[in-house]
Amino acid sequence: MPNSRLLAQVLHGWSGIFSSADHPALANYVKMILQEMQTRSLNYEISVRGLFVALITEVMRLSTEQNDSASANRMVIAPALTYIDEFYMENFSIRDLADACSMSESHFRRVFRELVGMGPLDYLNRTRIAKACSLLRMTDDSILTISEKVGFGSMSSFNRHFYEVMGTAPSDWRRATGTGIGTSILKYSGWLRPPTP
């Protein structure tokens, strides 16, 4: 999917406050979504999904515009971001990330927070939770197994961070999304190829 990394950033960890006067298109999408949800007319679910895609697309464009000026600055911490993305499931220190960027630890923390809007540990935990959400959605692995796969040392730590980021417990989130391998369309592999004569 084009810009899938940007989409993941918008959905997990990016935040912005937009006034309706400065961004009427965003305000309009939100109003239309709310109206559809309130009236619940025929096929309103399809309409809400389409409006949500349009809303997210517009937010992605705005986040790109806002981040263009920070992109050059962000290059200084690119090695740390890459390291987190590749090794999020392993134990490593902030010192390792600072070394990857050739900075002192205190300077790295300050620059990282300035550019990303959160500390490196918070960013790591959000990355782990985003990966956990994918596993909760796409597999039938136990929550304990998933917490270990994404790098949390204990269930209590996983549950606490998951709640902080997602606003609910992992088991409740999985149940609410109605996902898992048992409910996936991919289970029915016959749908993926044309019928044989």
Q: What is the domain-level CATH number for residue 84? A: 1.10.10.60
- Of the three residues 12, 46, 72, the one that is the final residue of a domain is 72
Residue 94: inside a domain? yes
Residue 122: inside a domain? yes
Verify that 58 and 106 share a domain, yes or no: no
Please give the torsion angle defined by the CA atoms of residues 48, 52, 58 and 62, in that order, rounded to the nearest 10 degrees.
140
| Closest by Cα among 90, 79, 101 to 124 | 90
N-terminal to C-terminal alpha carbon distance within the chain = 33
The residue segments making up the domain with residue 22 are: 4-72
User: What are the pLDDT tens digits along the chain (197 aa)?
Assistant: 455 555 665 565 555 566 777 778 888 888 998 899 899 999 889 998 899 888 888 887 877 665 555 555 678 898 999 999 999 999 999 999 999 999 999 999 999 998 888 999 999 999 999 999 999 988 899 999 999 999 998 999 999 999 998 999 999 999 887 655 554 444 444 444 455 55
In angstroms, rounded to a whole number, what is the distance separating the alpha carbons of residues 48 and 2?
Answer: 22
pTM of the entire predicted model: 0.58
CB under 8 Å to 48, separation ≥6 — which residues?
A: 33, 36, 37
Tell me, rounded to whole angstroms, the distance of Cα 94 from its chain centroid. 22
Verify that 46 and 87 share a domain, yes or no: no
CB under 8 Å to 105, separation ≥6 — which residues?
A: 94, 95, 98
- Of the three residues 72, 87, 103, the one that is the final residue of a domain is 72
| Closest by Cα among 158, 164, 123, 169 to 9 | 123
If one counts the domains in the chain, the total is: 2
Verify that 164 and 85 share a domain, yes or no: yes
| Closest by Cα among 58, 124, 119 to 89 | 124
Verify that 176 and 156 share a domain, yes or no: yes
Residue 191: inside a domain? no
